[in-house]
Amino acid sequence: MLLYELPIQVYVITITGIRDKLKYIHDDLHASVIYLNPIYPSPNKDFGYDISDYTDIHPDFGTLEDFEKLRISMHKKGALLIYGICKCDIKKFL
């Protein structure tokens, strides 16, 4: 099993762009798992980990519909999608 980390903020790519490159990532690189940094709405003061809404997708990256299409496309290939989530901001406790 090969994990391909795709820091979506660094590559400035959308969820649709990932889906368009899925054949390359899965078939050519043989990656069966893709890891994304957080894709939720965020003021981006902490590289996307300062999440302001856990129920949506940041508009810079796409929509919930785009995410669902990516999830379905990956499922059809037998691939996994893992994405970062941060439930607690430690700075609030310091």
- Kindly report the pTM of this predicted structure: 0.80
Query: What value does the CA radius of gyration of the chain take, rounded to a whole number of Å?
Result: 14
- Tens place of pLDDT per residue across the chain (94 aa): 888 888 777 776 899 999 999 999 999 999 999 998 888 898 878 777 788 888 999 999 999 999 999 999 999 999 999 887 666 555 554 4
Residue-range definition of the domain harbouring residue 60: 3-93
Residue 83 pairs in a beta bridge with 36
Reading phi first (left if > 0) and then psi (alpha if -120 to 50, else beta), residue 48 is in left
Instruction: Report which of 30, 24, 25 is spatially closest to residue 2, judged by C-alpha positions.
Output: 30
CATH code of the domain covering residue 33: 3.30.750.90
Domain count, the chain: 1
* Confidence at residue 87, expressed as pLDDT on a 0 to 100 scale: 64
The β-bridge relationship of strands 33-36 and 80-83 is: parallel
The two tokens of residue 26 are 């899965």
